[in-house]
Structure 1
């Protein structure tokens, strides 16, 4: 999770050196990775892992004659549940499934309607500002693909094309291997069921050993005999005996990764106070630093319940418009500034950068609201400009 601001800026694999080598996380595949920024192929896609919502960069090299069909998760699920999948199962000798396929297939139709003929509902998700995808030589938005990740080969979602090459981290650039197919989606579903069982078993093992850690999630990789367990803890945890217990049960490679509470919200997902998907889960896993000063500059309530997310930390969205407020406040006097106006001493009590107004209270009891255009900074102090009649 490099370049991600979390409670643990560099979440590391806490696998002990004495642990078997196969318990270590494999390095990101460098196959086809360019050596300089000038050699970066185009287009570059932003990829998001389905299990942890971590993002990386990838490119695709097509060597065949026909451009492959990249499909979204909704399309793959439709194909998996539709008559085509049932006919494929019937061809393997299942007479019962064959009768069901014939029953469900519309009269006179032998194939599933194409995307142009059938309206396919895709799940709504947040995405960064990306280039529109219009040509068939681009991978469509929200398509699923198989690509290497920092943990191993897995299914990723294409979030769009990166326009700004300066934002691309070459260490995260990987080669997209192929489109995800029906078999991959079926494997993903099977893994989801096994992940629930693995989560419960690992949680019970943690309780049995009374370890000071909270299990967040479990994940099976697509084609590798390996399980990832994410957990949170207040300090470093010695879980070598726990790993031995898990290896004896699952008979495969085990990796436990400690993450921060902000990363926990990113992995598990959820809904924010605005009613939308959590920013860290749906928009980007690049978490910017957030401070209480950002809330003050935007005149927001400092009630921790109103400006904190499910992770218990300040809302990520506090940083989205902070630069606007900073720029706007440079043209306005700050709270506490005093000056003479209309024969009385006034003090600025409130600044609203959004509306460009300043509220000031005078010693004579008057409270005035003035527009930003009435103020001018001269000779080291603020002045109120008189309006010409």
Structure 2
């Protein structure tokens, strides 16, 4: 399937974190070079983010697309021109949307390297009739127009932002794909089921719920569950809640409520675990 190539390289599209792979025979191409490739969008200039590697190290069984060429001065000039043309296209898109009163939010407009095609990405809550918009854009830009609707999570990934933790959003900083996130993950982490506080900039559940879910599942398996009974200093208590990060348990009985470190509150549990490990 890929026998016509000697090796492959990994590339990065517009500083995205998802890797893409292209086959080549020119092993002089390496990390930091710019190459021209053909995608479903057309010809694009991309940055190589790896040195050439042998085909046996390809992460998967799929057919590679070829590297067209190493970028030359003309390609680099065309790329710079496409950036300027993209700004003009975006201004035209915004102007026509406002004139037509369309309920859509344009995110980006990008020309291909040969300037034959413009990809316009937008967000909309409902179906939009953009036939007149296409007609006007074709007349003004003199290029093939492709409109692509994306969801709120993809929008957040593209434009980035500062999350509630004070850091750049996970999706734009390092995530390659989106995972399924459910309210059960918030329950597993003993979080208050306040949708507004559990939602990220995109309005969907925060990705960190998924990142931390496995850790909480593992920690829960190591300690007694909430509402279980424990003996502490000769008195019986039930476990009201557990702070897994602070390693502190809230113990209650009819007489008092106390906060005790895990290692003190669950001595019997720890001894039972050690005996089990020794068996």
Q: Using structure 2 for the length normalisation, give the TM-score.
A: 0.78
Q: How far apart, CA to CA, are the structure 2 residues paired with 1:230 and 1:336?
A: 51
Cα-to-partner distance string for 1:267-299 (whole Å, 9 max, x where unaligned): 223444455443323323301122344344345
Q: How far apart, CA to CA, are the structure 1 residues paired with 2:206 and 2:214?
A: 16
Q: Give the match for residue 191 of structure 1.
A: 82
Cα-to-partner distance string for 1:147-203 (whole Å, 9 max, x where unaligned): 2223222122344489997964737x4333333344433322222222111111111
Q: How far apart, CA to CA, are the structure 2 residues paired with 1:251 and 1:61?
A: 34
Cα-to-partner distance string for 1:189-233 (whole Å, 9 max, x where unaligned): 222222111111111111222222111110001125000101111
Change (3 A) 1:309 1:150: farther
Q: CA RMSD in A?
A: 3.6
Change (3 A) 1:348 1:175: farther
Q: Give the match for residue 155 of structure 1.
A: 45
Q: Give the match for residue 250 of structure 2.
A: 359
Give the counterpart of 1:337 among 228, 249, 268.
Answer: 228
More strand by proportion, 1 or 2?
2
Deviates more, 1:243-252 or 1:291-300: 291-300
Note the residue ranges of structure 1 that are not aligned, 5 or more in a row: 1-32, 71-138
Report if the CA contact (8 A) 1:153-1:224 is conserved. no
More helix by proportion, 1 or 2?
2
Cα-to-partner distance string for 1:285-321 (whole Å, 9 max, x where unaligned): 3011223443443455766565543323233233223
Deviates more, 1:261-270 or 1:219-228: 261-270
Report if the CA contact (8 A) 2:120-2:148 is conserved. yes
Q: How far apart, CA to CA, are the structure 1 residues paired with 2:58 and 2:74?
A: 36
Cα-to-partner distance string for 1:92-146 (whole Å, 9 max, x where unaligned): xxxxxxxxxxxxxxxxxxxxxxxxxxxxxxxxxxxxxxxxxxxxxxx32x54332
Give the counterpart of 2:150 among 255, 259, 262.
Answer: 259
Q: Give the match for residue 110 of structure 1.
A: none
Give the counterpart of 1:47 among 11, 26, 29.
Answer: 11
Q: How far apart, CA to CA, are the structure 2 residues paired with 1:298 and 1:44?
A: 42
- Report 1:8-157 matches (<5 A): 34=2, 45-50=9-14, 53=16, 55-63=18-26, 67-68=27-28, 70=29, 139-140=30-31, 143-157=33-47
Report if the CA contact (8 A) 2:18-2:176 is conserved. yes
Report if the CA contact (8 A) 1:41-1:59 is conserved. no
Q: Does 1:200 align with 2:163?
A: no
What secondary structure does 1:176 align onto? strand
What secondary structure does 1:359 align onto? strand
Q: Give the match for residue 108 of structure 2.
A: 217
What secondary structure does 2:127 align onto? coil
What secondary structure does 2:11 align onto? strand
Report if the CA contact (8 A) 1:325-1:354 is conserved. no
Q: What is the number of residues matched between the two proteins? A: 269
What secondary structure does 2:249 align onto? strand
Give the counterpart of 1:374 among 264, 267, 273.
Answer: 267
Report if the CA contact (8 A) 1:344-1:364 is conserved. no
Q: How far apart, CA to CA, are the structure 2 residues paired with 1:351 and 1:261?
A: 34
Q: How far apart, CA to CA, are the structure 1 residues paired with 2:177 and 2:61?
A: 12
